[in-house]
């Protein structure tokens, strides 16, 4: 089973994100973001350089409609406030617990990691302080085999700061 050490994760988190200033907030409801990704098959399609992952490639708008999401828009940053995930899993490579992670699409840098037991697992996790720069896409992956997944990342867009 692939494990990510606490120290290595902390370094990746520090390098991949920046802190959220206290005065940063959505300006109106159009800044609110819900991203969705998922699959139902024996293997996800892959995402960037990550073969055992999939892209969060749909944005759910306030009216419930879905549009394609190809990364954080130019001159914007995405402040992530939470993640909800449900997976069907046969467990880690050894049949035990498995590691799941939210990654940047093109670099594979991990920004959130958790553990999933074998079977059907669901979690809702509030997050704070994760700011994603323009041009970045997101992937969700895990170290062992899986049968299905559905992931939502919530947050809001703010103007990108220098």
Are 82 and 146 spatial neighbours (Cβ–Cβ below 8 Å)?
no
Confidence of residue 75 (pLDDT cuts 50, 70, 90): very high
Domains in the chain, please, with CATH? 6-18+31-159 (2.60.120)
Q: Any idea what the Cα angle at residue 115 is, between residues 113 and 121, rounded to 5°? A: 115
* pLDDT tens for each residue of 30-65: 899 999 998 776 666 778 777 788 899 999 998 899
Token representation of residue 77: 């940053």
> Which pLDDT score is estimated for 82?
95
- pLDDT, residue 91, reads 59
pLDDT value of residue 50: 76
Confidence of residue 162 (pLDDT cuts 50, 70, 90): confident
Greater model confidence, 73 or 13? 73
Mean pLDDT of the chain: 79
Contact 137, 108 (CB under 8 A): no
pLDDT: which is higher, 4 or 118? 118
% of the chain exceeding 70 in pLDDT = 78
């Amino acid at each position: 089973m692939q494990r990510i050490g606490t120290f290595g994760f902390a370094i990746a988190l520090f390098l991949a994100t920046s802190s959220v200033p206290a005065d940063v907030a959505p300006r109106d409801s159009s800044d609110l973001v819900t991203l969705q990704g998922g699959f139902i098959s024996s293997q996800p399609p892959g995402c960037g350089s990550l073969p055992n992952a999939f892209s969060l490639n749909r944005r759910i708008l306030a009216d419930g409609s879905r549009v394609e999401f190809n990364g954080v828009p130019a001159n914007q940053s995405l402040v992530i406030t939470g993640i909800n995930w449900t997976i069907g899993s046969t467990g880690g490579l050894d049949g035990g617990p498995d590691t799941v992670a939210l990654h940047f699409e093109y670099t594979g840098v991990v920004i959130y990691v958790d553990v999933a037991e074998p079977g059907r697992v669901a979690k809702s996790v509030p997050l704070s302080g994760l700011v994603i720069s323009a041009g970045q896409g997101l992937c969700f992956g895990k170290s062992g085999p899986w049968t299905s997944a559905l992931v939502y990342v919530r947050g809001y867009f703010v103007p990108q700061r220098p």
